[in-house]
Chain A
Amino acid sequence: MLTGTTIVAVSFVYLLLLFAVAYVGDKRADAGRSIIANPTIYALSLAVYCTTWTYYGSVGRAASSGLGFVPIFLGPTLVVALWWFVMLKMVRIGKTNRITSIADFIASRYGKSHLLGGLVTVIAVLGVIPYIALQLKAVSNSFTILNNYPAIVMPAKAGTVPWLADTTLYIALIMAAFTILFGTRHLDATERHEGMVAAVAFESLVKLVIFLAVGLYVTYGIYDGFGDIFSRAAQDAELQPLMLMGAGGNSHGSWFAMTLLSMLAVMFLPRQFQVAVVENVNENHLRRAIWLFPLYLLLINIFVLPIALGGLMLFAGQGVDADTFVLTLPMAYGHGWLALLVFIGGLSAATGMIIVETIALSTMVCNDLVMPLLLRYRWLVLQGQDDLTGVLLGIRRGAIILILLLGYLYFRLAGEAHALVSIGLISFAAVAQFAPAMIGGMYWRGGTRPGALAGLAGGFAVWLYTLLLPSFAKSGWLPGDFLQHGLFGLAELRPQELLGIRGMDPIAHSLFWSLLVNIGAYVCVSLMRRPNAIEAGQAMLFVDVFKQSRPSGGAFWRGSAEVGDLLPLIGRFIGRDRARTAFADYARTRGVAGVEVLKADAGLVHFAETTLAGAIGSASARVMVASVVQEEPLGLDEVMNILDEASQVRAYSKRLEQKSLELEAATRELRSANERLKELDRLKDDFMSSVTHELRTPLTSIRAFSEMLLEDPKIDLADRKRFLGIIVSETERLTRLVNQVLDMAKIESGHAEWHNGEVNLIEVVEQAAASTSQLFKDKGVTLELQLPDAVPVLLADRDRLVQVMLNLLSNAVKFVARDAGRVRVALALTAEGLRVDVHDNGPGLTPEEQLIVFEKFRQGGNTMTDKPQGTGLGLPISRQIVEHYGGRLWVESAAGEGACFSFLMPCGKSTDTDEEAG
């Protein structure tokens, strides 16, 4: 049978089991084999969101408003989709700045402000106390109900039993003891509690399994599945509306408000912040939590409606509180063991919530409320105690007891006025006040400390007035007059119909007004002045947390410090050995041999401050560190300069990128220049090879004939004469070749001498014709000159122009047929200048030949049997000469119709080569 003793014994066994899990978790963490370094454990620990409120209260809410319980879980499911951005950023900020709580987060963001941290702590404590009261109420009620098994008796109204006879008080004290054991056995610099997280994950699993078990029992054990329950309920005129949207007055507006509220709560409840941000060991764990956590929420809600409907049908008219259906349904069917399991599940949910919540709150109370006060009154410093870890732990333990007792007090005073869900929503609305300062702080650089203070204070005041005080009034603890008539009798100030707005439920009404005031004050007051130095610095650390390659800080600090001062200071708060180990680790990361040789620079001071922040919060840590170092305050200008530097660094890296692109382009140009050089080198090589060939050819004849003449004196006179003739002509050819190669090289390199003077082109043509007349006569070729009477005088080198004419004439005579050849030279003045045409009736040139005749050593006439005499340099040199004076030399020809070589010399303007003359 279930006696009170059995229930208590089983409860303690279960709590010991939880403690064992936590103990193992801590041991494993110390041994470096963390069991919570696992994304599933992380996701399960997030399910600390589901408290007894979910466990018992969802059914209660479903019994009164049908689907009205859904938004509380819809909100988290929706917001989780954004976690990869928002929560990831919160986690990253938390890690890089060693954030220990949500109060620390906000205080740190707005310039490590004690006032802000304190305000957030007060809001959190006051806001969450009803929530803790709710857990106590649930455990206490379920104990009382179970204790009366097999009878189903609703517990007495809170406050009607004497204080010392109230089981709830003892439950609160047991919870406090348990939390102290869990959370404050030692002081951790990182404020992480691996054992606690492991226990919470375990507890989440337990409550889920048990709730599913009850759900399955009710749905398939008592009834015949979902269909059965719903069809039976549908026949009941009173139950029918519960299965429709909008049942029990849950309007769309209310749905929206609830959803928004729970979206904010799942991120900003102190315990959610604790497990999601402070206890996070690996950012990547978020990936699994993003789908596993919503899945958990879905599972734990599947059976809510069946249980609610089942209970309503079974207990119709018996006055059984719907909040207890989960427990009373198995009891009604005589399943005492299942009811005991349900009680354990509820205890589990309550324990998990209370432990995490009170640890988070006690950290905030210690770091952001008590420590600053102690610091302010110089109590700690004056006392000169060496080891303050005991003091810190004492403060936290006291805070835990105090918070639970406050929770009990609220339960006594106001607990009966509301169902579980309504109490929870009051807490939700309180923590929703953190949203503007938190989200604004992560994404808006303009937020300032006064802005955050004004927003939080305003929102909190509205919450207090529209939600908390009415909850007291309804419980009869405060006179209810102001509820009906408004403060000072002003109807506009009626707490739940502010400015005459009616028709919203109290929660939505409060949320609307408090967030309106909060956001309005935050933004407006922030905009009243520019962020000061420390606000701007912290804003960069928070808003641009992803742009920092590694945890930086210290960039905004300047001054001098001694390792000898910092180490003992940290040691006082976290213990001498821990401090020494931490400093040694830091020394290693800086590549320094030991703690003693550490450079006391901004980085070290930042390290000391963040280490200390882990123990006493960022605001207090700043004050403490400042007490031993000489800080030179940075002005806003300087911080702005540092921020500018950061953007300059970005700009610089952009410039670097550009430079490297330019460099690549330059490299490409160099490469192509090099290719061109190589090509030129190859051309030069070819040229040399050609020259060599042209030199070797006449040398061959000369050597052969000379050797034969030398060896054989008996060669007859005719042959001897012929051979000597050949030797002479080949020597002439050699000479010509050498001259032309030199000439070509000079012209090409720009070293040629140009003896410019007034030149009459008529005379040039006549002189060339006279010089070649013997050639023409020998071959029987006619030469015809068509010259005008007078032409403009050119300023040029007369000999060079004669050279061009001689070349063209000798070429012409070379290629025309013997005795039938005709060459006609025409000189005319055209618009472009003086033009000379040398026309022959030779074989002409193919288009390919027309191109190559101007290349060096590429003579035309390949088809001819006898190789034309010449060096293969005449035309290239002629073209160079003409082009030197800005003219052109070209050929027009059709095969078989002769060729016409022409050149054009510009006239009327003097050449630009005068200075080269001489």
Chain B
Amino acid sequence: MAKKILIADDEQNIVISLEFLMKREGFTVCVANDGQEALDKVRSESPDLVLLDVMMPRKNGYEVCQEIRAEPALQGTRILMLTAKGRETEVTKGLAIGADAYMTKPFSTKELVAKVKSLLDMPA
């Protein structure tokens, strides 16, 4: 059965592109437009993987990541953080609070797909 992916970003155009990309790869996709919504969707939809933007209204990506990692029921959720802030410290911070991987925007669609698949233990 198809793996489910949550796309959490407040930039509509990016959501559109990611949704199209993931669907084309055969994933089931759900969308959140801010941090709080992302957290709610993780709990309600139980996605296998979250594509998590950092700069979001209401709750930023770091907070969302921390709260997911703090809930035992959500431990299986893979988190791939996406951010337009590519500074070294931000990458380190993201990984430190429990993200499985980190990619800076703009990203290569091929690499993103490969990373998603590898996180979900799927053949590329």
The answer to whether A and B assemble together is yes
A residues sitting closer than 8 Å to B (CB atoms) are 689, 692-694, 696-705, 707-708, 711-712, 719, 723, 726, 729-730, 862-867
- The answer to whether B55 has its CB under 8 Å from any CB of chain A is yes
- The answer to whether B33 has its CB under 8 Å from any CB of chain A is yes
Q: Which residues of A contact B110 (CB under 8 A)?
A: 707, 711
Write the B25-36 contact mask toward A (1 if CB under 8 angstroms, else 0).
000000001100
Complex CA–CA separation, A72 to B104 (angstroms): 103
Show 16 A/B contacts (Cβ-Cβ < 8 Å), sorted by A: A689-B87, A692-B86, A693-B55, A694-B84, A696-B84, A700-B105, A701-B17, A702-B106, A704-B17, A704-B106, A707-B110, A712-B24, A723-B20, A863-B58, A867-B10, A867-B11
**CB <8 Å contact, A865 and B17:** no
A699, closest chain B residue (CB): B106
Complex CA–CA separation, A866 to B58 (angstroms): 12
Complex CA–CA separation, A692 to B84 (angstroms): 8
Q: Which residues of A contact B76 (CB under 8 A)?
A: none
Q: A697 contacts which of B33, B57, B105 (Cβ < 8 Å)?
A: B105
- The answer to whether B21 has its CB under 8 Å from any CB of chain A is yes
**CB <8 Å contact, B106 and A863:** no
Question: With A692-B85, A705-B17 as given contacts, are A700 and B11 in contact (CB-CB < 8 Å)?
Answer: yes
**CB <8 Å contact, A708 and B109:** yes
Q: Which residues of A contact B85 (CB under 8 A)?
A: 689, 692-693
Question: With A692-B85, A865-B33 as given contacts, are A704 and B21 in contact (CB-CB < 8 Å)?
Answer: yes
Question: With A704-B17, A704-B109, A708-B20 as given contacts, are A693 and B84 in contact (CB-CB < 8 Å)?
Answer: yes
Q: Which residues of A contact B10 (CB under 8 A)?
A: 867
Q: Which residues of B contact A703 (CB under 8 A)?
A: 106-109
How many contacts between A and B, using CB within 8 angstroms? Answer: 78
Closest chain B CB from A333 CB (angstroms)? 107
Closest chain A CB from B31 CB (angstroms)? 12
Q: Which residues of A contact B87 (CB under 8 A)?
A: 689
Which of B19-55 touch A at CB < 8 Å? 20-21, 24, 33-34, 55
- Apart from A696-B106, A865-B33, 14 more pairs, CB < 8 Å: A689-B85, A696-B86, A699-B105, A700-B84, A700-B106, A701-B11, A703-B106, A704-B18, A708-B24, A723-B17, A729-B13, A730-B13, A865-B34, A867-B57
A701, closest chain B residue (CB): B13
Write the B85-124 contact mask toward A (1 if CB under 8 angstroms, else 0).
1110000000000000000111111100000000000000
A730, closest chain B residue (CB): B13
Closest chain B CB from A2 CB (angstroms)? 109
**CB <8 Å contact, A700 and B14:** yes
Q: Which residues of B contact A712 (CB under 8 A)?
A: 24
The 5 closest A-B pairs by CB, nearest first: A696-B84, A704-B17, A701-B13, A700-B105, A700-B106
- The answer to whether B70 has its CB under 8 Å from any CB of chain A is no
Closest chain B CB from A360 CB (angstroms)? 87
Complex CA–CA separation, A700 to B82 (angstroms): 10
- The answer to whether B75 has its CB under 8 Å from any CB of chain A is no
Complex CA–CA separation, A693 to B84 (angstroms): 5
B105, closest chain A residue (CB): A700
Complex CA–CA separation, A697 to B20 (angstroms): 17
Closest chain B CB from A230 CB (angstroms)? 98
Q: Which residues of A contact B107 (CB under 8 A)?
A: 700, 703-704
Complex CA–CA separation, A866 to B16 (angstroms): 14
B15, closest chain A residue (CB): A701
Q: Which residues of B contact A698 (CB under 8 A)?
A: 13
**Residue of B12, B84, B85 with highest tally of chain A CB at under 10 A:** B84
Complex CA–CA separation, A798 to B84 (angstroms): 37
B87, closest chain A residue (CB): A689
Q: B108 contacts which of A692, A696, A707, A862 (Cβ < 8 Å)?
A: A707
Complex CA–CA separation, A709 to B55 (angstroms): 27
Q: Which residues of A contact B11 (CB under 8 A)?
A: 697, 700-701, 867
Question: With A702-B106, A707-B109 as given contacts, are A863 and B16 in contact (CB-CB < 8 Å)?
Answer: no
**CB <8 Å contact, B57 and A862:** yes
Complex CA–CA separation, A702 to B14 (angstroms): 9
Q: Which residues of B contact A694 (CB under 8 A)?
A: 84
Complex CA–CA separation, A703 to B14 (angstroms): 10
Closest chain B CB from A734 CB (angstroms)? 12
Closest chain A CB from B99 CB (angstroms)? 18
Q: Which residues of A contact B105 (CB under 8 A)?
A: 696-697, 699-700
B18, closest chain A residue (CB): A704
Complex CA–CA separation, A703 to B17 (angstroms): 10
A727, closest chain B residue (CB): B13
Complex CA–CA separation, A863 to B24 (angstroms): 32
Q: B14 contacts which of A704, A711, A723, A862 (Cβ < 8 Å)?
A: A704
Q: Which residues of B contact A700 (CB under 8 A)?
A: 11, 14, 17, 84, 105-107
Q: Which residues of A contact B20 (CB under 8 A)?
A: 708, 719, 723
Q: Which residues of B contact A707 (CB under 8 A)?
A: 108-110
**CB <8 Å contact, B58 and A862:** yes
Complex CA–CA separation, A864 to B11 (angstroms): 13
Closest chain B CB from A60 CB (angstroms)? 101
Q: Which residues of B contact A702 (CB under 8 A)?
A: 106
Complex CA–CA separation, A230 to B98 (angstroms): 104
B34, closest chain A residue (CB): A865
A867, closest chain B residue (CB): B10
Complex CA–CA separation, A438 to B48 (angstroms): 106
Closest chain B CB from A864 CB (angstroms)? 8
Complex CA–CA separation, A704 to B84 (angstroms): 14
Complex CA–CA separation, A863 to B34 (angstroms): 10
Q: Which residues of B contact A692 (CB under 8 A)?
A: 84-86
Complex CA–CA separation, A707 to B11 (angstroms): 18
Closest chain A CB from B25 CB (angstroms)? 11
**CB <8 Å contact, B57 and A863:** yes
Closest chain B CB from A585 CB (angstroms)? 70
